[in-house]
Amino acid sequence: MKALITGITGQDGSYLAELLLEEEFIAAGRRAWVEAVLLALLTMEVAGARS
Confidence at residue 51, expressed as pLDDT on a 0 to 100 scale: 60
Confidence at residue 8, expressed as pLDDT on a 0 to 100 scale: 81
17-45 pLDDT, tens per residue? Answer: 999 999 999 988 877 666 667 777 777 76
Query: What one-letter code names the amino acid at 4?
Result: L
* CA separation for the pair 5, 20 (Å, rounded): 10
Task: Say what the pTM is.
Answer: 0.58
More confident: 19 or 7: 19
Confidence at residue 18, expressed as pLDDT on a 0 to 100 scale: 92
